[in-house]
Amino acid sequence: MSEQQLPLHHIDTSVILEPSTTDNGRCCRRYLQKVGYNYTGKLSLAVFGEILVSIISTEVYNDMHDFLDVFAHLLRIRNISLYTPRNIGQTLNKILELDTRVGPTDREILACAIEDNAVNLVTLDKDLIGNKRLEKEFGIRIVHPKDLL
């Protein structure tokens, strides 16, 4: 199956940054191993920005570079691409109208996934996972990585 035919997943920041020592982190690592083989993975610019902030906030210089190397390797090896939003303003407003618990960055991440016609938004965010109202309105599934294993 070619990459074009693989289901499109937008991946949230939490899936990338969760420590592999937690149960969630182990699920995230197993899920990420499927990206590029079973799923096409994309990161919105909001996710990319959050990850870069986390990287440059690392106080030990060698740790910062190690983190950056691991992240760049993940993008390359799993063929994860970046998504730049084009016109998400109305979608952002509709998400806020439907669920005020969704924060600004999470709204942007979800709006990008919707605009890009992703099948799934993969996240650890409890306020988003299985949010039937948002899923029904926008025709997207919001899932935990373990749901895809």
**The domain that contains 16 carries what CATH number?**
3.40.50.1010
Q: Which contiguous run of DSSP H or E holds residue 141?
A: strand 141-143
Check pLDDT > 80 for residue 43. Answer: yes
Pull the structure tokens for residue 35: 């990206």
Determine the Cα–Cα distance for residues 5 and 8; give it in Å rounded to an integer: 9
Determine the Cα–Cα distance for residues 88 and 94; give it in Å rounded to an integer: 10
Q: What is the pLDDT of residue 4?
A: 59
Indicate the number of domains in the chain: 1
Residue 88: CB atoms within 10 A of its CB come to: 19
Span 98-118, average pLDDT: 97
Q: What is the pLDDT of residue 18?
A: 97
Span 15-36, average pLDDT: 97
Instruction: Express each pLDDT in 79-105 by its tens digit.
Output: 999 999 999 999 999 999 999 999 999
Check pLDDT > 60 for residue 2. Answer: no
Span 122-142, average pLDDT: 96
Range of the domain at 126: 3-148
Q: What is the pLDDT of residue 69?
A: 96
Check pLDDT > 70 for residue 3. Answer: no
Q: What is the pTM of this model?
A: 0.94
Q: What is the pLDDT of residue 40?
A: 98
